[in-house]
Structure 1
Amino acid sequence: MHKNSLAFLRSLFFHFITLLVLFCGSILPDNIDGQMQQAGSYYRNGEFDKAIEIYEDLRSQGYEGTSLYFNLGNAYYRIGKIGYAILNYERALKISPTDDDVKHNLAFANLSTVDRIQPLPTFFLFEWWETLLASFSVNGWTYLAYFFFILLLILVVIYFFAKTVFQQKLILFSGLAALVILLITVSLLIVKINREQTLISGVVIEQSITVKTSPDPQSTDAFVIHEGLKVNLEDRLDEWIKIRLADGKVGWVENKAVEKI
């Protein structure tokens, strides 16, 4: 029993260190923090183009973060580039799905778009599932899975040191509940990862696009969409991308007209 307890404690320590490393990795280096502050200063002074230049430079270096995309979206909105504003709000929301400020600004920016697409009706259980899935990002579901995994390990360790039958039963039921939630969380994490790999979305960044029936500029015009509309990206052929709207309409546009979220 003593050896098993030590093994559990070692495992618990390992996962604690893993979470600590993940947390430390989220702290901004001084140079990035300085650039973010400089961009913020430009934004407050109304120099939105200069702020955008710094934010885009950080993004080109591989830095990503909710604050970066949120501030970049705000700057683009201020200069009237609704498509790029919505694009960056969507990127921020992808990282932090529960951020109220991001959701508010995205909804506000969407009021400036031309297209009003009515999505296809779905069964309420599917809507509930999608809402649950969208509650956290991949990182969020990962942290949640770690939390319940560590909680389960702690409960197992405590179980071996419980002094009464009542305590053992209480810990056992708590452990079973933690296990069930852990399995559900891991399942949602797997679905979320698979969804992000297979379901790719983008935003229209040109003011107006004539969508074609095939990847050919001489093909028949299908319909017209406008800046800021969110679409699904389904296929790519040379310089063309196949898109699908929320109402089920499908067509082809040049890839320069749409940018991936």
Structure 2
Amino acid sequence: MRIFLNFFICCFSLLATAQNDDVFETANTLYNDGKYIEAIDQYESILKSGQHSAELYFNLGNANYKLNNIAPTIYYYEKALQLNPNDEEIQNNLLFAKNMTIDAIDKVPQVGFSRIINNIVNTFGTEVWAKIAIGGVILFVLLFLMYHFSYTTSKKRIAFITSIVSLFIGFFALLMAFQKESLNKKDNPAIVFVQETRVKSEANKTSEEVFRLHEGTKIQVLETYQEWSKIELSDNSIGWILSSEIKLLKGF
């Protein structure tokens, strides 16, 4: 019974993928014909089916760019970049899209020791750091066994030194993996999706306005409280904004 169920699920998945491929081609044709609204509807229907890809988000960004939809353009380019962070075309289009925004927010640069550590941590993802840690520990065990069973002093010395080095690499990579995971959890970006919003000093509408933001601006969400989100800008400015006026980038 379970084999039959898995076979049915597999067939259904393949059928859905084939249908989405047809819809994607139809959307591309509409885009090439200049029917951008219709193309967006087709692309979004694929998203609603649960299928996601960098190419799909990229095309959605392009279609919205043609319509001067600032917030959706940046949002979809950012989503595409999450799935394919090294794609130069996505990066370039995102830069062009950001030129459409009003807010010019300076980025506070990291300096000193924290900058060095963050650069090292961001060299690899959490999974890669974890694999390096496991590899270091396995190598340590093998070298330690070699040290234990070696009969010559020179081989023992080499095995001992390299095992200590591999153990250090393993623990260092493990530390980097935890640090990277911590940074990932803190990283909660969003895009402003209203033409203009008033950012408040507290989570209520009667509190003091601290600054204003406009559509397409990228922010960091620090926490949420009822209908409000506490946000931070790249210049370290902090305030509260209605959660309905932003769209989170994390999750698919």
Among candidates 214, 224, 229, match of residue 241 of structure 1: 229
Matched residue, 1:59: 47
Quickly say closer, same or farther: Cα 1:177–1:49, change in 2 above 3 A. Answer: farther
Residue 127 of structure 2 is matched in structure 1 by 142
Mapped to 1, the partners of 2:174 and 2:83 lie a distance apart of 18
* 1:110 Cα deviation after fit: 1.0
Structure 1: 5+ residue stretches without partners: 1-24, 161-172
Say whether the 8 Å CA contact 1:203–1:231 is kept in structure 2.
yes
Q: Cα distance 1:209–1:190, how it changes in 2: closer, same or farther (>3 A)?
A: same
Moved more, 34-43 or 111-120: 34-43
Residues 1:122 and 2:110 aligned together:
yes
Structure 2: segments with no counterpart, 5+ residues = 1-12, 147-160
Counterpart of 1:253 (choices 217, 220, 241) is: 241
Q: Is the 8 A contact 1:98 1:135 kept in 2?
A: no
SS at match of 1:98: coil
**Would the alpha carbon gap of residues 149 and 107 (structure 1) be closer, same or farther in structure 2, given more than 3 Å must change?**
same
Tell me the C-alpha RMSD between the 2 structures. 3.5
Alignment correspondent of 1:100: 88
Amino acid at match of 1:221: E
Matched residue of 2:203: which SS?
Answer: coil
Question: Of 199, 220, 243, which aligns to 2:187?
Answer: 199
Letter paired with 1:259:
K
Equivalent residues in 2 for 1:1-261 (5 A)? 29-131=17-119, 133-134=121-122, 138=125, 142=127, 187-261=175-249
Closer, same or farther: CA 153–235 of 1 in aligned 2, 3 Å: closer
Q: Return the alpha-carbon distance in structure 1 between the equivalents of residues 209 and 32 of structure 2.
A: 44
Residue 167 (structure 1) aligns with = none
Percent identity reads 27
Go from structure 1 to structure 2 and tell me whether the alpha carbon gap of 1:60 and 1:244 turns closer, same or farther (over 3 Å shift).
Answer: same
State the secondary structure of the residue aligned to 2:102.
coil
Larger Rg: 2
Seen in structure 2, the aligned counterparts of structure 1 residues 153 and 80 have a Cα distance that, compared at 3 Å, is same
1:86 shift after superposition? 1.0
* Residue 63 to residue 128, structure 1, CA distance change in 2 (3 Å): farther
Separation in 2, partners of 1:212, 1:89: 28
| One-letter code aligned to 2:49 | Q
**Matches of 1:106 and 1:251 in 2, distance apart?**
26
Equivalenced residues, count: 226
SS at match of 1:256: helix
TM-score by length of 2: 0.71
**AA of the residue aligned to 2:42:** I
* In structure 2, distance between residues paired with 1:96 and 1:212: 35
**SS of 2:190's equivalent?**
strand
